[in-house]
Amino acid sequence: MSQRVDRAAHRVRTRPEASAAALSEAYDTALLDLDGVVYAGGSAIAHAVESLGAARAGGMHLAYVTNNALRTPQTVAGHLTELGIPAAAEDVITSAQAVARLIAEQVPAGARVLVIGGDGLRVALRERGLVPVESADDDPAAVVQGYGGPELPWGRFAEACYAIERGVPWFASNTDLTIPGARGIAPGNGAAVEVVRIATGAEPQIAGKPLPPMHRETILRTGARRPLVVGDRLDTDIEGAFNGGVDSLLVLTGVTDAARLLAAPPEHRPTYVDADLRGLLTCQPEVTAVDSAGSVGSAEPVEGAFACGGWVASVGDGRLRLERRDGGAESERTVLDGLRALCAAAWQQAGDGVCGLDAGKALARLGL
């Protein structure tokens, strides 16, 4: 199964889009990442519980889509419910489920699969009629690797290598290099995959975000007709939405900061940008182009400028520039307008590449 994505078929986004309706009304299903979006280190992120409750009450279907293959859907749903976000196991889609389907399509029914990871992988394999085993000597038909938590023994990587060196096909739930936790950013499954890759020289088939198997699994399980991907990572959540041809909302509660957003290549540019999950409950402002007769804080004409709210962003003197044009008081919402305008200036300048202009002064103006 090819994992390539025809990116030439996608339109290059040059600015965040507007929505006249609240996103919870404009889309039927929110496909929500968990770590860095709904919770961090096991605790709910600010405004998540209230925002998701309001979106659900308004009729939006909430589905929780995670690349973390360690925990079972039942465990994740239980954790969400404890946080005050009622969820059932069927509301949770994991990369373990996506990789189990991918394996089941390529090995005989009832085949043995060597598991390098946690219970989430074992449960997902059994759901597909496959038999989890623990040793390369158990005659596995495949090796699957997923996040096993900080206590995963080093010897498990060796077990994977033994099987792969014998010609057993290798699968990985996902390749996120990092995972956020209560104490900071820790190594994720992608870091563990690199250990095995370096030792064997092999390449795994990967199921998780941003690749198509995960998007397919999500759509099959949710039945979403007009989904909105909600995430904090450009290289998994937003790229996954890009590859799936659906819209996305980036929330700034996780690993992505403003500087990375401005430098995003086309496949990492979200449809919408907001501070947190309150963004589901609001409309999204329009970012408009300012013609060559417009000005930024002076009578000097500025070309390629973009306005959002009271801000105008432009490119000049090798950097991104930002000026306030209405003199109003600044707030969290107006800061976001400034960031949206900067995104448009940066992405327009970069085209189908990456904006390398200095954004330091502009972001400092916003306190970002």
35 is catalytic: yes
Q: Which residue of the set 33, 176, 247, 274 is catalytic?
A: 33
Q: Which residue of the set 35, 235, 274, 337 is catalytic?
A: 35
Non-local CB neighbours of 84 within 8 Å, separated by 6+ positions? 44, 49, 53
Active site residues: 33, 35
